[in-house]
Each structure stands twice: as structure tokens, then as C-alpha cells.
């Protein structure tokens, strides 16, 4: 089901400020291992489950998966070329979502209680991005105070959410939102900080950069821990949170 018609084409890369090219390494298992184990490179053992976009759409991106196997991401509407968010499970199939008064809608995270996290482009002010939490068809808009743009990436089982905001025209910082309180997450001296995932213990995983190369980090209670894949040529980025804590879950698997 599609919630609203869209008429404007958006490239997926428009959504976030970032270096010209970033190669992302998925190291989900490192998020929940002791620090000593984080230094050992491991090859994931994976089972791949495939699925195709529903009729009238093309698959744009798969961004997250919950413990119950629900997948979230973006589709491209073949008739309007607009980006719409989606959830997918083998039992219920696809559901498409377009945030109210949006030109494009992205979905990045979800929990097993049916809360989804993402962001959308404002149709009235196209230069503005707003975060949202979606549950039961109701959107709750998330805007970091005084920020021109807000991107929301993940939500845990307790309702804590993480994302990023534009602190200035050239600086992007991360944040955590808990019970209506915002906490900024900014890696020291970094131009870009993305808080991309949060588990139920309040541990945040993300990436930072000030140029071409990105680096991974873990953050909790104001303390950063660096996570750099050994001999990575283009840096490291940790993505996609607690849904992967038991190992590499389908369909988001990789080396």
C-alpha cells in the first residue's frame, strides 16, 4: 500500500552530506563484542534470502533488519521516480510509506515493537530534512533544536533514537534522543559525525570523517571508542545496530 503520491525525483545520495566517495564496511559483530575481540578480523557466515521490489517500484536501498526479520529501506516509484520508504517481511510483504508534505522519504531503522526511524525532505522547503518516528501509521517529527536538517537512523526497543543534524553549513554532528532530551554526539575535530545505530544498552555505533576516509566509533555516556578495520584502505564505518548482534542476519550480510 502506498500512503501518498509523489512527483519529484530524488537521488539516494542527496539525503546525507558526506565525502565525494565513501566505502562502507559492515562490521556489525564488532558492536557487541568485548574490546579485545574487536581487533580480530572475522569472516561472517551468512545465509542470503532474496526478494524483489513490488510491481511499479524499483529497489533503491535496504538499510536495516529487525530480530523478527522485518526489512526497511527505500523504493523508487517507477511512475514518479520519487523515493518512498518501505517495510518488508516474508509473511506480510511490502508496505510503502511517504511522510506528509514530503518530496522523498527514507527509512533506516526499526524495532520489533513496530517503531520505524527515518527522515524526509520537506516539500515546502526542499532544502530541509526532518527526522521522524513512525508507529501505527502515525508520524512523530524529530527536529534537533535550531538545526536546519535532521536525519534519524535508528531506534532501540526502549524508544531511544539516534541520528545526525547539521550544526552549520560544513559541520554535521550526531545525537541521541531519549525521552525528549537531545544529547549531541560529536567526534573531536571531525567535520562529519553520524550516529547510526543504538542498542538496548545505550551503546551507539557510527562513523566520522573530515575528508575522504571514514572511521568507525562506539560511543556511550560521552566516551568514544575507535573501531578501525585492520589495514582498511578507505576507512571503516559501523552500521545497523542490535538487530545484527547474533551474527550476520539475512538479507544484510557481507564481508
Q: Which domains, and CATH codes, for the chain?
A: 12-244 (2.120.10)
The Cα–Cα gap between 195 and 198 comes to 8
Instruction: Give the closest residue to 72 by CA, choosing from 61, 83, 81.
Output: 61
Predicted TM-score (pTM) of this structure: 0.79
More confident call, 89 vs 27 = 89
- In which band, very low, low, confident or very high, does the pLDDT at 41 lie, cut at 50, 70 and 90? low
Give 222: exposed, middle or buried? Use CB within 10 Å, 0-12, 13-18, 19+: exposed
pLDDT value, residue 16: 63
Strands (DSSP E) contained in the chain are: 57-65, 71-77, 83-89, 93-97, 102-110, 116-122, 129-135, 138-142, 150-155, 161-166, 172-178, 181-185, 192-198, 204-209, 214-220, 223-227
Instruction: Give the closest residue to 59 by CA, choosing from 8, 96, 20.
Output: 96
The Cα–Cα gap between 239 and 205 comes to 7
Q: Could you tell me which residues come within 8 angstroms of residue 166 by beta carbon, excluding any fewer than 6 positions away?
A: 17, 147, 148, 149, 150, 172
pLDDT value, residue 17: 57
The Cα–Cα gap between 189 and 166 comes to 15
Average pLDDT over residues 219-224: 96
Digit-coded pLDDT (tens) for 51-65:
999 999 999 999 999
- In which band, very low, low, confident or very high, does the pLDDT at 101 lie, cut at 50, 70 and 90? very high
pLDDT value, residue 182: 98
Grid cell for residue 187: 567526534
Amino acid at each position: 500500500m502506498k500512503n501518498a503520491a509523489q512527483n519529484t525525483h530524488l537521488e539516494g545520495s542527496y539525503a546525507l552530506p558526506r565525502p565525494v566517495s565513501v566505502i562502507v564496511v559492515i562490521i556489525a559483530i564488532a558492536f557487541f563484542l568485548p574490546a579485545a575481540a574487536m581487533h580480530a578480523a572475522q569472516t561472517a557466515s551468512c545465509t542470503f534470502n532474496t526478494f524483489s521490489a513490488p510491481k511499479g517500484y524499483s529497489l533503491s536501498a535496504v538499510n536495516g533488519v529487525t530480530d523478527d526479520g522485518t526489512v526497511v529501506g527505500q523504493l523508487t516509484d517507477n511512475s514518479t521516480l520519487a523515493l518512498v520508504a518501505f517495510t518488508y517481511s516474508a509473511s506480510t510483504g511490502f508496505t510503502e510509506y511517504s511522510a506528509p508534505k514530503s518530496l522523498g522519504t527514507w527509512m533506516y531503522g526499526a524495532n520489533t515493537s513496530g517503531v520505524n526511524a527515518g527522515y524526509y525532505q520537506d516539500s515546502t522547503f526542499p532544502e530541509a530534512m526532518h527526522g521522524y518516528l513512525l508507529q501505527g501509521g502515525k508520524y512523530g517529527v524529530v527536529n534537533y533544536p535550531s538545526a536546519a536538517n535532521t536525519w534519524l537512523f535508528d531506534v532501540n526497543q526502549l524508544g531511544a533514537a539516534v541520528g545526525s543534524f547539521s550544526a552549520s553549513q560544513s559541520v554535521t554532528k550526531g545525537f541521541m534522543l531519549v525521552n525528549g532530551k537531545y544529547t549531541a554526539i560529536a567526534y573531536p575535530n571531525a567535520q562529519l559525525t553520524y550516529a547510526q545505530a543504538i542498542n538496548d544498552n545505550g551503546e551507539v555505533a557510527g562513523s566520522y570523517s573530515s575528508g575522504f576516509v571514514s572511521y568507525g566509533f562506539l560511543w556511550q555516556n560521552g566516551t568514544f571508542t575507535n573501531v578501525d578495520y585492520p589495514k582498511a584502505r578507505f576507512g571503516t564505518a559501523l552500521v545497523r545496530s542490535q538487530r545484527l548482534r547474533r551474527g550476520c542476519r539475512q538479507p544484510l550480510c557481507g564481508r
